[in-house]
Amino acid sequence: MRRLSFVMFVMLFSLIIFAYVNPNYVSPVVNVVDEAAPAVVKIEASVYSSTYIDPFIQEFFKRWFGDIPKQYQQKGTSLGSGFIFDKKGYILTNYHVVEKAEDIKVTLLDGSEFEAEYIGGDEELDIAIIKIDPKDKELPILEFGDSDNLKIGEWAIAIGNPLGFQHTVTLGVISATGRKIPKPDGSGYYTNLIQTDAAINPGNSGGPLLNIHGQVIGINTAIIAPSEAMNIGFAIPINTAKRFIESIITTGKAIKAFLGIYMQTVTPELQKALGLKVNKGVYIAQVIENSPAEKAGLKEGDVIIEVEGLSVTSASELASIIHNYTPGSKIKIKFDRKGKIHEIEVILGEATENNEDNIQAKEFVGIKVDEISDSDRETYQIPEKIKGVIVKESTNNYISKGYVIFRIAINGKTYDIENLTDWNNVVGNIKKGDYVAIFYYYKGATGIFSFGY
């Protein structure tokens, strides 16, 4: 009996002790959330989406006109997150959250609602800035951290609106840095991403990833499908976004850097054919005259294997990495030259735009075009000898972004297209009932898209 009493006494005494472990303890995460949450916003962007219409009519409009008229569409809502970074009302978010939005509503933690103005952004970087008018309201803001010095294993805190559940907080760690994932449309890669196991779900896009000091270290942007993996999320490093904030606010777009090379992904076949000493990397097929690459000493035949400590294995990946920087940025490039590894510093330039007269291009069958810039030639590997206009946006199923249109035939007569003036003159004279053929170049091949207008 005494023994049982003693055991019970020990158990009770233990419970009393445990009850007073960490008395008055407050998790540092609580402090972060208290400080940061008021500056995190819910974003509701109204966009047009297709409703059900007769499949024949739907295919007809998509095929010949590139888009479905708004009378056959309904307004839908894109839900996402963002955060205020300037007391004037500027908010950072993902481009895909507010892309083509008709109107944007922002809701703060205290329930305040604002109509937001789209300032600008960039699809490739998936960064956008919107703005609300605070009027007399003192807006809370978040402080930027330094994403270049993250340590694997340090705390990561995500705040956002997953599935519309406003101001949801999740906790994890930095799982990895320098990650790359392919874009859903296959147009390239998102590069140098932060990987975290803090739960990120649809609706978290555009929200902040914070460190334990409450500073923004990333913009939550993507997840691995739950059917494939759990708790693998990605964020754009905040240092990448910081480089482009000024240009987006002042010009509406991200002014990106330019290296100045034509390149090819090193494949086993290319390695054997050219006798290369490395089996992966990006082969320099040509260096553009007076480009940053030429000034730094890069030459035809070099194979770039690393940029700023990030390994590169494909041409599209290299282009994406370069476009994460602004003109004037200094980057270190490691390359192979005839079996010897070299490292140089390159000061990146700004890609010139050939449309010096700022001509407004006419839209035709859902195709929006522009002059071919140096950046376009580098991104899509368009040789200098190829003239024409480049497709910037297309809503039909035949001509895609990145195609170069160099000729148009109308009722048996052909017209060469070398610039926007040619394009406007030709498409401006196409009439209903004309038979049209569009000649295009893409990735070393040419094709023809023909139809009756």
At residue 406, what are phi and psi to the nearest 5 degrees? -115, -5
Residue 299, token pair as written in the block: 């030459």
CA distances from 277 to 18, 273, 302 (A): 64, 11, 10
Q: Are 403 and 441 in contact (CB under 8 A)?
A: yes
Supply angle C-alpha 150, 243, 207, rounded to 5. 60
Q: Are 404 and 423 in contact (CB under 8 A)?
A: no
Alpha helices by DSSP H, listed for 267-371, are: 268-274, 292-296, 315-322
Collapsing DSSP states into helix, strand and coil, what is residue 193? strand
Alpha helices by DSSP H, listed for 99-207, are: none
User: Can you tell me the distance from the alpha carbon of 89 to that of 110, in angstroms, rounded to the nearest whole number?
Assistant: 16
Residue 217's nearest CA partner among 262, 130, 156 is: 156
How many residues in the chain?
453
User: Can you tell me the distance from the alpha carbon of 419 to that of 440, in angstroms, rounded to the nearest whole number?
Assistant: 14
Torsion, Cα 21 24 27 30, to 10 degrees, reads 150
Give me the amino acid identity at 37: A
Active site residues: 96, 126, 205
Q: Are 198 and 162 in contact (CB under 8 A)?
A: no
Q: Are 374 and 288 in contact (CB under 8 A)?
A: yes
CA distances from 85 to 2, 97, 145 (A): 67, 17, 12
Q: Collect all residues with Cβ–Cβ distance below 8 Å to 183 and sequence separation of at least 6.
A: 189, 190
Residue for token pair 């978290």: 204
Give me the amino acid identity at 16: I
